[in-house]
Amino acid sequence: MRVSNKWLKELVNIDDTVENIADKMLLVGNEYESITKLCPCTNLVVGRVVSRKDHPDSDHLNVCEVDFGDKIYQIVCGAPNVDANQKVIVAKVGAMLPAGEIKATVIRGVESNGMICSLAELGLESKYVKESDKKGIHVLKDSAPVGLDALVYMAFDDTYVDYELTANRSDLLS
């Protein structure tokens, strides 16, 4: 049984870490298998695509100017649905994603300082991703505040505890 730490804190007034809560549950006889983050990523922000133009040496890449809230950075993006004035999820240089660390790089002669992300690149399973998001980046609502932590904005900053349900603990099944 997976229990969301945020959901649990909505129901019960608990001011403790998820690890301590899981350990206290263990003391009353409820074992847990793992503690995992919903989205194991770091250093993501809500960005606004200021401009998008075709890459000079590619027929499928775009060169975007993206406002991170404090500064505008240039990012090369291969998503077909990226466009100007979109609010997007941006992995800054140094961000950790399931596929690895994001680094400043040069792609076909053009500098790129970050990555505009799809939900799949954040590690979400495809069964939770809309069809429209599977073909490119995830576009946020226009009301998304530029510069805010993207995980906080999307409520992906949660941790889950996976509890074992055993036959002798029928009280946990209700």
Listed range (16-25, 80-89, 137-146) with the worst mean pLDDT: 16-25
125 three-class SS: coil
- Report for 1-5, 150-154, 156-160, 168-172: range of highest mean pLDDT: 150-154
**Segment 56-77, tens digit of pLDDT:** 999 899 999 999 999 999 999 9
Structure tokens at 60: 């499928």
Q: pLDDT band at residue 78, thresholds of 50, 70 and 90?
A: very high
Q: pLDDT band at residue 165, thresholds of 50, 70 and 90?
A: confident
Checking if the pLDDT of 134 tops 90, the result is: no
Residue 140, pLDDT score? 95
Helix, strand, coil shares of the chain, percent, nearest 5, are: 20, 35, 45
CB burial of residue 110 (10 Å; 0-12, 13-18, 19+): middle
Q: Which residue has the higher pLDDT, 29 or 173?
A: 29
**Segment 45-59, tens digit of pLDDT:** 999 999 999 999 998
